[in-house]
Amino acid sequence: MKSLYTNLVTRMLPLVFSACRAQRLSILIYHRVLPERDPMRPGEPTIDEFDVQMKIVREYFHALPLVEAVERLQAGTLPDSAVCVTFDDGYADNETHAMPVLKKYGIPATVFVSTGFLNGGRMWNDSVIEVVRNYQGEVLDLRELDLDCYTVRSDEQRRAAVDSILRQIKHLDPQIRIELVNDIQTRGAALPDDLMLTDAQLRSLVHNGVAIGAHTVNHPILSSISTDAARSEIENSKRYLETLLQQPVDAFAYPNGRPQLDYGVEHRDMVRELGFKVAVSTHWGVGTVLSDRYQLPRFTPWDRHPLKFAGRMLANYRRLDPLLD
Q: Does 130 share its domain with 104?
A: no
Could you read off the pLDDT of 147-176 as tens digits, one per residue? 999 999 999 999 999 999 999 998 888 888
Q: Does 112 share its domain with 135?
A: no
Q: Does 200 share its domain with 95?
A: yes
How many domains would you assign to the chain?
2
Could you read off the pLDDT of 175-215 as tens digits, one per residue? 888 899 999 988 877 889 999 999 999 999 999 999 999 99
The residues near 177 (Cβ < 8 Å, ≥ 6 apart) are 124, 169, 170
- Distance in angstroms (rounded) separating the CA atoms of residues 199 and 182: 25
Please indicate, yes or no, if residue 15 is contained in any of the structural domains: no
Estimate to the nearest angstrom the gap between the alpha carbon of 192 and the chain centroid.
21
Evaluate if residue 223 carries a pLDDT over 60: yes
Q: Does 139 share its domain with 100?
A: no
Q: Does 274 share its domain with 260?
A: yes
Taking the alpha carbons of 241, 249, 91, 98 in that order, is the dihedral positive or negative?
negative
Please indicate, yes or no, if residue 2 is contained in any of the structural domains: no
Estimate to the nearest angstrom the gap between the alpha carbon of 80 and the chain centroid.
23
Mean pLDDT score of the chain: 90
Q: What is the DSSP letter of 280?
A: E
Please indicate, yes or no, if residue 285 is contained in any of the structural domains: yes
Average pLDDT over residues 253-276: 96
Rg over CA atoms, the chain: 21
Contact of 112 with 87, CB cutoff 8 Å: yes
Q: Does 143 share its domain with 181?
A: yes
Q: Does 257 share its domain with 294?
A: yes
Contact of 255 with 221, CB cutoff 8 Å: yes
Q: Does 27 share its domain with 149?
A: no
Please indicate, yes or no, if residue 12 is contained in any of the structural domains: no
Can you give the pTM of this predicted structure?
0.90
Q: What is the DSSP letter of 269?
A: H
**Residue 134, domain extent:** 124-185
Q: Is 40 helix (H, G, I), strand (E, B) or coil?
A: coil
Q: Does 41 share its domain with 168?
A: no
Evaluate if residue 278 carries a pLDDT over 50: yes
